[in-house]
């Protein structure tokens, strides 16, 4: 099951990394702009998530995997569909703003080989986290909706704190680059 998530996660993110790396070769100021944008985005969304503000909503798609894509399919095919869509994480709704900063951080790295490696590792990390959470959930009874909502709010706080950490780091990196 891990492979069904990890392989698409790594491939999709590495492809994104290659595109961003090539773009950075053509547009010299792109990595510096990505560092500055990471600092601004991290501060804005981090403060909103830590403060518990419902606005602004995390950027991204609202799409969810439709049931009819899975009904009547064999278990291996179902895992493959889930893994291909949820592993990379681009297509489905994500309630945490931490996901949308990832392409900015990848673009900030700059040089093509490093960007591809970092993007591939980010894809593997996201897919592994997603698969681990699914394995965790399948091994225990499902939480009631209220408990799930409380857990989601706690994760939103953690995500906001992580965004602020990233924003602080990006501000320092931007300072070193621009001076």
Partner 1 sequence: MTAGLDEPQADRSAFDSAVIRTLLAAFALAAGLAVAWLVGGRVIILGVLAVLLAAGNGYGKAYSP
Rounded to a whole number of angstroms, the minimum distance from the CB of residue 126 to partner 1 is: 4
Q: Applying CB under 8 A, does 50 fall inside the site for partner 1?
A: yes
By CB under 8 A, residue 165 contacts partner 1: yes
Give the count of beta carbons closer than 10 Å to the beta carbon of residue 151. 11
* Measured CA distances, 17 to 29, 137, 170 (Å): 17, 31, 19
The two tokens of residue 104 are: 């900015």
Nearest distance, CB of residue 73 and partner 1, angstroms: 21
Give the whole-angstrom CA distance, residue 16 versus residue 100: 13
Q: From 21-29, 70-78, 99-107, give the range in contact with partner 1 by CB under 8 A.
A: 99-107
Contact residues for partner 1 (CB under 8 A)? Answer: 31, 35, 38, 46-47, 50-52, 89, 93-96, 98-99, 101-102, 105-106, 108-110, 114, 118, 121-123, 125-134, 136-137, 145, 148-149, 151-152, 155, 157-173, 175-177
């Amino acid at each position: 099951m891990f492979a069904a998530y990890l392989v698409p996660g790594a491939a999709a993110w590495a492809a994104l990394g290659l595109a961003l790396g090539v773009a950075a070769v053509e547009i010299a100021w792109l990595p510096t702009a990505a560092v500055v944008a990471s600092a601004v985005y991290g501060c804005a969304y981090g403060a909103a998530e830590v403060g518990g503000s419902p606005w602004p909503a995390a950027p991204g798609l609202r799409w969810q995997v439709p049931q009819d894509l899975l009904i009547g399919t064999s278990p291996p095919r179902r895992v493959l569909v889930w893994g291909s869509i949820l592993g990379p994480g681009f297509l489905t709704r994500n309630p945490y703003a931490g996901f949308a900063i990832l392409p900015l951080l990848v673009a900030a790295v700059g040089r093509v080989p490093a960007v591809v490696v970092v993007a591939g590792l980010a894809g593997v990390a996201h897919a592994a986290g997603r698969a681990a959470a699914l394995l965790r959930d399948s091994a225990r009874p499902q939480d009631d909706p209220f408990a799930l909502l409380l857990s989601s709010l706690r994760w939103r706080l953690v995500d906001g704190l992580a965004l602020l950490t990233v924003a602080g780091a990006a501000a320092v990196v931007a300072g070193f680059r621009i001076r």
